Amino acid sequence: MASLTRAITRLAVQTGRGAVRSIATTTPVSGHSDDIMEKWPADKFDNHFITYLNRPEIDGWEVRKALTELHDYDVIPDPKVVEAALRACRRVNDYALTIRFLEAIKIKCGSQKNRDAIYGYIVQQIKPVLDELGISTPEELGYDKPEFFIPQPEFWWEKRWYKDYGFDKLPNYQF
Amino acid sequence: MQLSLSFFLWTPHVSCSSRKTRMLARQLMLPRMAVRALHTTTRATGGHHVEYWWGPEKGAGRELVGYGSCGDNIYQDRLDYWYPAIRFRKEDSTIAPIRAKESGDWKNLSAEEKKALYRYSFRQTLSEFEAPTGYWKVISAVVLSILGLATYYAVLLNVYVYPELPPTFQNEYKEAQVERALVLEKGNFLGAPTHYDYENKKWK
């Protein structure tokens, strides 16, 4: 009896589906296991970025796209990914982006304790690549401490800052 | 739990297909003119209006190098989008020879040239971004001066503006009121008499 009911239901469902024809323009997502890149196994995640960054025809816009996406994820990049990113920066001749990327690793490390431990480890691991490409770390350039004071443009300014910083922000109401 | 989850997962599909059938039925049943929408105003195009878009002016001739946070060519230093869309400075005669050198071996770049390359691409380093700005002093000065002025204003009102409090606020009046309640309102279920022990003549 139960199997008969099930068969009838299936028949009804099938005819119903035939009558109301699906007009989906996209293919349905089959599995939900691979959707979230953060839940990928580590080597697959790393290889995704490494293969993208190792493409010989990559341009500067795409390097920044890859680094921005890598920055979006809640991960600290593996030294292998860092090496690939530095080589990609070398290929597009953007030296400033390498320093910026090394600083981004510091951001992703989070707390100062993590920053000391993990950032130091990554720099130590990628040392051969840094030497090969001639890249200085932010520490070697003295960027681990503030070099300039940079006032917030949308906030209260001292009078003399308008002169010192080249009237970047125009003075508003004057007494 | 499993059942309810699958229920929620499948609900949109069911409602979607039923909406489709209902739409189909309405189109079949009603003549075209009856369901036609009447527009009394011109249609808004929506989204960005080019006349209010200041991207090129803010970009000001600086090289567009990436997507940034929102695709506009503006320079922003943000911790979540650490790679701005445009370079911070325009290409000029100072940076041109260093750019030429950059396309060669980076080992030939001196530290000053590396710093110049960074400063032409980006406004501030991470340590400068994270450095304390000192604005807390301005903010707390404003907040504390507002609190102080409010206090002075309240004192001024109390001293010079408000009349004397009526005598019923004095303690003698309040105590007399309680004694009166003990006599006149004996047996009430509210107020002072409920807290007074009449047999031993003391407060409970």
Q: Average pLDDT of A76-95? A: 96
For the cut 90, the answer to whether the pLDDT of residue B99 exceeds it is: yes
Q: Does A24 map to a domain?
A: no
Q: Does A141 map to a domain?
A: yes
For the cut 90, the answer to whether the pLDDT of residue A119 exceeds it is: yes
For the cut 80, the answer to whether the pLDDT of residue A153 exceeds it is: no
What does the alpha-carbon distance between residue A175 and residue A167 come to, in Å, rounded to a whole number?
A: 18
| B41-89 pLDDT, tens digit each | 555 555 555 566 666 777 878 999 999 998 888 898 999 999 999 999 9
Q: How many domains does chain A have?
A: 1
Question: Is the separation of the CB atoms in B95 and B116 below 8 Å?
Answer: yes
For the cut 80, the answer to whether the pLDDT of residue B19 exceeds it is: no
Res B6: pLDDT: 37
Residue B128: closest C-alpha in chain A: A146
For residue B28, the chain A residues in CB contact (below 8 A) are: none
Inter-CA distances, A165 with A160, A169, B92, Å: 9, 8, 19
| CATH assignment at residue A98 | 1.25.40.40
Q: How confident is the model at residue B168 (pLDDT cuts 50, 70, 90)?
A: very high
Res B27: pLDDT: 45
Domain ranges of chain B: 56-130, 133-162, 167-203
Res B24: pLDDT: 45
Nearest to B120 by CA among B99, B145, B141: B99
For the cut 50, the answer to whether the pLDDT of residue B18 exceeds it is: no
Q: Which two tokens stand for residue A114?
A: 């993590």
Residues 6 or more apart whose CB falls under 8 angstroms from that of A53 comprise A63, A66, A81, A84, A85, A87, A88
Residue with tokens 């920053």: A115
Q: Does A75 map to a domain?
A: yes
What's the gap in Å between the CA of B47 and the closest CA on chain A? 24
User: Is B100 in CB contact (< 8 Å) with chain A?
Assistant: no
Q: Does A161 map to a domain?
A: no
Residues 6 or more apart whose CB falls under 8 angstroms from that of B140 comprise none
A90-94, A125-129, B168-172, B187-191: range with lowest mean pLDDT: B187-191
For residue A72, the chain B residues in CB contact (below 8 A) are: 80
| A12-45 pLDDT, tens digit each | 444 444 455 556 666 555 556 667 888 889 999 9
Res B169: pLDDT: 94
Q: How far apart are the first and last CA of chain B?
A: 57
Q: Average pLDDT of B21-49? A: 50
Q: Do A156 and B135 touch (CB under 8 A)?
A: yes
CB atoms under 10 Å from CB of B105, counted, come to: 11
What does the alpha-carbon distance between residue A110 and residue A119 come to, in Å, rounded to a whole number?
A: 10
Res A170: pLDDT: 59
Residue B126: its H or E element:
helix B126-130
Res A13: pLDDT: 45
| B101-153 pLDDT, tens digit each | 999 999 999 999 999 999 999 999 999 999 998 889 999 999 999 999 999 99
Res A62: pLDDT: 95
Q: Which CATH class, in words, describes the domain spanning B56-130?
A: mainly alpha
What does the alpha-carbon distance between residue A111 and residue A54 come to, in Å, rounded to a whole number?
A: 31
Q: Do B67 and A97 touch (CB under 8 A)?
A: no
| A55-78 pLDDT, tens digit each | 999 999 999 999 999 999 999 999
Q: Do B103 and A93 touch (CB under 8 A)?
A: yes
Q: Do A99 and B65 touch (CB under 8 A)?
A: no
Range of the domain at A61: 39-146
Q: Taking the model in full, what pTM does it have?
A: 0.67
